[in-house]
Amino acid sequence: MKTAILTSESSEKHITGDGHPEQPKRVVSIIDTLKKNKELLWDKPGVVPNDILNMTHSEDYINNLKDSFPKSGLNFLDGDTVVSPGSKDAVFQAAGSAISAIDGIENKKYKNAFCVVRPPGHHAEKNKSMGFCCISNAGVAVNYLIKKYNYKRIACVDFDVHWGNGNYDVMYDNKNSLYISTHQYPFYPGGGSEKDKGKYNNSLNIPLPAGTNSEEYFNAYDRVLDKLIEYKPDYLIFSAGFDAHKNDPLAQFELSSKDFYEITRRTLKATNKFTNGKVVSLLEGGYDLKALAESANYHVNALIESENK
C-alpha cells in the first residue's frame, strides 16, 4: 500500500486577504512539490459527520461558525482569523480530510496519509476560533477514531512551533488520547508550560526557548519518543506544522528542512510496532513557501518509507 495525499481545491479558495501569512500559496507550494513524487496516491476529503463535529466543539460554536462565512468580502473571526465566501467548504473539507484519511487506512486503500489542507486547526478551541484556525482537525480525527473504530489509545504529536492550545483544549478531558507538543515558549498563543498536563495526565508539553537549534530540539524530542513508547498508542496523528524552520518568518527556531524527515522517521520508528503503521498527518503551520514545501516533502518521504509492523 502507498502513502496518500488528501487535498481539495477548496483549500485554495479560502481567501485571507493581501499580506496574510496563511495564504492559498501554502498548499499550492506543497502540492506542486509532491506532484513530482510518483509513489503517492491522491484522494479528496469527504464530509465530516455532525456528531463528530459536536464531540469536538460545542454545538453553539459550530452553528455560529457556519453562519460566519460572508457572501462577499472578508469576515474577521478574531484579529488574525479571517474567512471569505470560499472558506466554508475549505474549513469543513479540511476536517473531512481527517475522516477520509482514517477511512482509507481502515479500508486498506492506503498505508498512511498526509492531509494538505487549510485552514490549519490546532489553535481552534471547543468554543472559539483563533490563530488562523476554525476547527481542530486533529480533535476531529481523535473523536472519529474513538466513535467509529473504537480506538482506545490515540497519540497526537504536534511539532508546530506554536503550542496547539486548541488541540489541548479539545483533548483535555479525553481519556483515550495523549496530546504531545514541542513548541517555542514563551510565545503565541500563551500557555503550553509543563504544568499543562490535561485532566488525566494525558498531555505532555515540551516548551523550548527561541533560538532552539537542531541538536537542542532532538535532545528534547527524546522525551516525546520515551513518552510514546511508554503510552503504546494504537493510532498516531501528526499536527504537522513546519514553522519551526529557520527561515520561517513567524517564529525563532532554527530547524532545517531535513530535520522534519528525522522528526517523522524517529516518531514512526518508536510507534509503528504499536500502531501497525496507522498514521494520519494534518497540515498546520509553515509560512515560508520554499521552506514549507521542502519540509513537507521530507515529512512525506518518511511516511513513504515507513513500514507497517
Active site residue 123: yes
Which single residue is written with the C-alpha cell 503504546? 232
Q: What is the DSSP letter of 249?
A: T
Could you tell me which of 45, 62, 113 has the C-alpha nearest to residue 280? 113
Strands (E), 233-278: 235-240
Neighbours of 196 (CB within 10 A): 17
SS3 at position 255 = strand
Active-site pick, 14, 57, 122, 123: 123
Beta bridge partners of 251: none
| Contact yes or no for 166/120 (Cβ under 8 A) | no
82-83/75-76 β-pairing: antiparallel
What positions carry a catalytic annotation? 123
